[in-house]
Chain A
Amino acid sequence: MQNMGWNKLFAVSLLSLAITGCASSGGTTDEAATTDSAMEESQTQAVPGSPGVDVVTEEQAAMAANPLLEQTVVYFGFDRSEIRPEFKDILNAHAAYLVANPQASVTLEGHCDERGTVEYNLALGERRADTVKRYLVVQGVNPSQLESVSFGEERPAMVGSDDSAWSKNRRTEINYQAR
């Protein structure tokens, strides 16, 4: 079961790599770099309870298999919640992993920038988490592996009141609870 899963994942990874290979440009690298920092921000905020050593090893193996899985944040336009085409490869990679690993589960955290009202942004954050959830379900992921939560504008990845901070804050983070 596990082996079959890895094979399938590997195949999907190759496919995804091929697609990104075609589409990639300097901009994609930038996005990947900022994604990492955004993820670090969010991890410092998470409740303690780190996974065991074995799990980490497995996680690293998975990362090696598909570098796209290292990208765990997708970004949105202002007041928008639809998935931008450039993030579909990342989501496809996570979908493939989740399909191949039914024991794995993720929390999808929807976030907004500080503009607009607190409550409307809380609702919008949920939309951003739910859009990602629906996308993953359409790719075959079992909904029971996915939990969505909105943090609205309350937990910015980047502090600041300019376009660069705002664009990093309008996001859905894919946080693995189990691998």
Chain B
Amino acid sequence: MMQRLFFIASLLFSVCAKAELTIEITQGIASSIPISVVPFQTVSSQSSGDVLDDVIRNDLERSGHFSVLSPEDMLSHPHTEDDLYFRDWRLLKQEYVVMGVVTELATGQFQVRYQLFDVFNERELLTQTLTGTQQQIRDVAHRISDAIYEQLTGIRGAFSTKIAYVTTNPQRTRFNLSIADSDGAREKIILTSKYSIFSPSWAPDGKRIAYVMLEDAGSRVYLQDITTGKKELISANRGLNSAPAFSPDGNKLAVTLSKDGNPEIYVVDLNTRKWQRITNHYGIDTEPNWMPDGKHIIFTSGRSGNPQIYRKNLETGYIERLTFEGHYNARARLAQDGRFLVLVHQAKAGGDFHIASLDLTRGLLQILSSGTYLDESPSVSPNGVMVMYAAKHNKRSILAAVSVDGDVKFLVPSKSGDVREPAWGPYPN
């Protein structure tokens, strides 16, 4: 039934020779939309046009919602409306065509004007003009992908977002916290340590990132400014200092501490540094995540014997169990304004670990991941469409992604070493 693409998109272009991650699409949706992105015309000495439309084609293809025609299979490469013959594209069974022109400005910047056409109705749906520096070619391309995706699916695009993740050498003696484009390109290492780094958590403004570093004396929570690189210690209490999660307004951090003898969830106000205890139970309470309203926190608790997901109302103090199906449910993240939970799920004792979604209104649990092993650390794209997670594949730790509906799947293997702990960043401002 499912259309299998087995499409390997190498995203390592000349502008990002350092990028470590590549993407292999393993499953797209059956009803994907046929679209053609004609190679953009470049009116300048630079060849930025090629890179631009390559990035757009890869973005759309990776989303799983589109079936993108290869430029070699096109009958013509039009750049203006005068050269656009809709019958050619109908012959190729294309529903949409994108074309664009890149010009170099006197300032050294470039400008791109693109148009999106509906082949069947023979009309223009979208046209935009964007400018940027040579270093912003990919940013501009992702913005165009976002606009096309939103126009045709009705969902905001998340191609312009960043992901954070941790890479390790096979000996586990060196850990890097890195940030890259959501397609794995333009990787930048923001922290290198001999200590294990995990649970990166983005501030809603996308400018800071909190994480755990496991030092010899135990776990510590740090907050790092991404642009300045300044690293600030948030918590170094006796016992655990772990699982940081930003509140939706970015002013507070939920953290797991065991300073009072047992792992409990606390909230620290980052401005006043006042701490407030949220949970109080002899079972393990950890992995907090805020609801979008800022008034509820979901967390993992072992209070019923095995880990399950609970939700606490911060105003009333009411605690409610959310997961009942399965032996082990942990590290839940919210998708689509809190309508769905995405979590690590083990159906029965000794069974495999998968990423699953739980529809909170209907109570339906759906296993999303397949083909990977020991799935963990799910992170949801800000538009609530895709889940990136860590898994074992061919004895290596890799990142993989699956759509919240389970229809689209792709792998993001690292060229060397292991990749873990993905965290999908917020929309850029």
Binding site for B on A (CB under 8 A): 46-47, 78-79, 114-120, 122-124, 126-127, 148-152, 154-155, 161
Contacts and interface: CB of A to CB of B under 8 A. Distances in A.
B198 interface: yes
Contact of B353 (A115, A124, A127): A115
A115 to B, nearest CB: 6
Which of B198, B212, B373, B376 has most A Cβ within 10 Å?
A: B376
Judged by DSSP, the binding face of A is mixed
B169 to A, nearest CB: 13
Contacts of A124: 284
A148 B218 CA distance: 9
Interface in B242-292: 242-243, 256, 258, 263, 284, 286-287
A120 B307 contact: yes
A119 B287 contact: yes
A122 B240 contact: yes
A120 B331 contact: yes
Contact of A161 (B287, B306, B395): B395
Nearest to B196: A154
Given A79-B306, A154-B214, A161-B395, A119 B286 contact: yes
Contact of A126 (B239, B373, B420): B239
Given A115-B374, A150-B218, A120 B286 contact: yes
A-B pairs, top 8 by smallest CB distance, nearest first, are: A154-B196, A123-B263, A123-B284, A117-B331, A117-B330, A119-B243, A149-B218, A119-B287
Contacts of B395: 161
B263 A126 contact: yes
B219 interface: yes
Contacts of A161: 373-374, 392, 395
B287 A117 contact: yes
B236 to A, nearest CB: 13
B374 A119 contact: no
A45 B365 CA distance: 41
B377 interface: yes
Interface string B221-250: 000000000000000000110110000000
Contacts of B198: 118-119, 154
Contacts of A117: 287, 300, 307, 330-331, 344, 376-377
B345 to A, nearest CB: 11
A99 B216 CA distance: 26
25 contacts: A78-B349, A115-B353, A115-B374, A116-B307, A116-B330, A116-B353, A117-B330, A118-B198, A118-B377, A119-B198, A119-B199, A119-B256, A119-B286, A119-B287, A119-B300, A119-B331, A120-B284, A120-B300, A122-B242, A123-B284, A126-B263, A150-B218, A154-B196, A155-B172, A161-B373
Contact of B330 (A78, A114, A120): A120
Given A120-B286, A161-B392, 16 more contacts: A79-B306, A114-B374, A116-B353, A117-B307, A117-B344, A117-B376, A119-B242, A119-B287, A120-B287, A122-B286, A126-B239, A149-B217, A150-B219, A151-B214, A154-B214, A161-B373
Which of A116, A120, A149, A155 has most B Cβ within 10 Å?
A: A120
Contacts of A46: 216
B150 to A, nearest CB: 33
B310 interface: no
A155 B175 CA distance: 13
B328 interface: yes
A120 B349 CA distance: 16
Contacts of B328: 79, 116
Contacts of A114: 374
A150 B262 CA distance: 12
Contacts of B286: 119-120, 122-123
Given A116-B353, A117-B300, A118-B377, A127 B284 contact: yes
Contacts of B243: 119, 122
Contacts of B172: 155
Nearest to A127: B284
Interface in B309-334: 328, 330-331
Nearest to A122: B242
B421 interface: yes
Given A116-B330, A117-B377, A123 B240 contact: yes
Which of A119, A126, A150 has most B Cβ within 10 Å?
A: A119
